[in-house]
Chains A and B, each alone.
Chain A
């Protein structure tokens, strides 16, 4: 794909951005409604009505619908909220990294955050039980997410340090530093896997495939703060990122502080992605496919692509999770497998279409 495709197209006529974003919001809300209403545990309309009436304080919940209340309120609602916020974070972070690196294939993995989070999560799985005894308590449930979050941030920080030469962050140096950090984290992860026992190896495998099965209400405020706020921050960077697409010198002459923009964008993307994967494990393709879809349909302006990627990224993860828990019921597929199964063929189709359009 040619770099020119990432540069905002000059569009004549009315600005479609508000309409496209309103459409994205509708899609996200519809996906969330489907995510709450559908799943392997069937909820009858009567059950839904009883649970809603109870939630609104209109009527007491009959005993017969207590299961429905647990499924809707305890299992699905926090799960759908987490999927929407984390998907939004992955989508916006992907869009921002592609803009920053001026490379359509960039994704948050390039800044080391996934590999760092994975290394720390694997360390938590392997050493956690030894350090904290039988990790069944409340601390045990938060230890792995905390480790993964800090690991993701540390890897990105290391990469930013390595990529910063004489106070200037060269995009090529940054990319190569990311490759080096990824290789190092991968090697250390391999070392930990060697020392892990059979059960831990399986836990590690499932973590790297991603799942929202552990979603609980107490995680929602944490994810809203650590993923939701950085996502909004990335969306606010739309104008400087648009300017950067023209080139660093051009952006500087347009009055943007290029180094600051780069640093802020990388930091916000790292926080959003690290906090997201901390609770779900690795989930691929959301940050790659969604921004592409928007660029192919509506051009590359970040004022559309960034918030659009957040809305559709959230919708994609909510629907992927719905598929993950429905298709193999009563068992569950890893959600990272679903996003990749949807994402990879779709991505190939997009590439073919783009190649055809250029030929």
Chain B
């Protein structure tokens, strides 16, 4: 009888989860999740991260659990984690189901873009760590809010977010992506509204949309051969942005993670898109 009761316990309880204060082996999956754990001061307890965790630099030196959509249950458990912090973008769902069945200490963190999503992420992660995250969440929210009025006063720039332009038709962002939310937050208007997600854009429709500025991730810009390489793509060469050579690039995870650095990324990109605007300087934060 007692044995059965123990087995039942084993099935429902996480593997030997210690009290929160003793968390010592954390695995983080998802760029914003990793950033937030480090910003909350728990970086020293992180033992492994996924391949989308590019910030801070200390995270890149940690062991890799692979891409967040192809997680390996046994690989994760072999790290003896006392907390698995997974972005809800992580998968496949079958692997998550195996992790849960094995009693691994999984906490799912809601992903999303925008100021509200940043607060949700910080709050959920702080809770899983057994910390009070309101200090961090409030600071990021204050920085974000300081930009609201100055950015709302700007004339929105017609922008095209290009995910990659290295091969064939450029892959651009439509609605319902982190990039789309970013453009809306920095005083820009996404000139692609007809589809959701990232799709190849034909030269004709690109010319018709007439973006004034092209926004890219730094590594994608480098892959495409810099500004000259990007503007050589037929679909982009026919835009007003090409005529004025306005291609703006920031580091990808900085712009699109919507973690603790979101407010500073918002300011940096807005300043690049509107060089004449007078945006308030944000306080230097230890997590940026």
Contact = CB atoms under 8 A, between A and B. Distances in A.
Given A57-B3, A331-B65, A71 B77 contact: yes
Contact of B67 (A42, A54, A66, A202): A202
B98 A214 contact: yes
Interface string B33-68: 000000000000000100000000000000111110
B10 A61 contact: yes
A141 interface: yes
Contact of B95 (A63, A67, A213): A213
B69 A206 contact: yes
Given A39-B78, A67-B77, A331 B64 contact: yes
Contacts of B78: 39-42, 71, 329-330
Contact of A330 (B3, B65, B97): B65
A332 interface: yes
Contacts of B116: none
Contacts of A217: 101
B10 A203 contact: no
A60 B6 CA distance: 8
A53 to B, nearest CB: 11
B288 interface: no
Given A40-B75, A140-B93, A214-B97, A199 B102 contact: no
A215 B16 CA distance: 23
Contacts of A216: 94, 97-98, 101
B94 A141 contact: yes
By secondary structure, the A interface counts as loop
Interface string A196-234: 011100110010000101111100000000000000000
Contacts of A136: 93
A211 B70 contact: yes
Given A61-B6, A198-B197, A330-B64, A206 B75 contact: no
Interface string B70-105: 111111111110000000010111110110011110
B74 A63 contact: no
Contact of A197 (B93, B102, B197): B197
A1 interface: no
A75 B74 contact: yes
A70 interface: yes
A61 B71 CA distance: 28
A75 B75 contact: no
A74 interface: yes
A243 interface: no
A330 B76 contact: yes
Contact of A198 (B2, B76, B198): B198
Interface in A284-330: 325, 328-330
B74 A71 contact: yes
Nearest to A334: B70
B73 A213 contact: yes
A54 B80 CA distance: 21
Interface residues of A, number: 40
A233 B247 CA distance: 63
Interface string A41-69: 11000000000001001001101001101
A332 B196 contact: no
B256 to A, nearest CB: 12
B75 A215 contact: no
A217 B80 CA distance: 23
A60 B9 CA distance: 13
B124 interface: no
B233 to A, nearest CB: 19
Count chain B CB atoms within 10 A of each CB in A69, A71, A74, A140 and give the residue with the most.
A74
Given A141-B97, A330-B48, A330-B79, A213 B69 contact: no
B123 to A, nearest CB: 20
A135 interface: yes
Contact of B92 (A61, A74, A214, A331): A214
A67 B15 contact: yes
A198 B72 CA distance: 21
B94 A213 contact: yes
A334 B69 CA distance: 12
B103 A213 contact: no
B16 A66 contact: yes
B73 to A, nearest CB: 6
A197 B92 contact: no
Interface in B92-127: 92-95, 97-98, 101-104
A102 interface: no
A262 interface: no
Contacts of A329: 72, 74-75, 78
B16 A67 contact: yes
B116 to A, nearest CB: 19
A41 B103 CA distance: 15
B245 to A, nearest CB: 28
Nearest to B50: A331
Contacts of B97: 141, 214, 216
A136 B93 CA distance: 7
A57 B3 CA distance: 9
B63 A330 contact: yes
Contacts of B2: 60
B94 A214 contact: yes
B195 to A, nearest CB: 9
A200 to B, nearest CB: 8
12 contacts: A67-B80, A69-B10, A141-B97, A199-B89, A203-B92, A214-B97, A216-B98, A217-B101, A328-B66, A328-B75, A330-B76, A332-B72
Given A70-B15, A141-B97, A213-B95, 9 more contacts: A41-B74, A54-B3, A141-B93, A202-B67, A206-B92, A211-B70, A214-B94, A329-B75, A331-B75
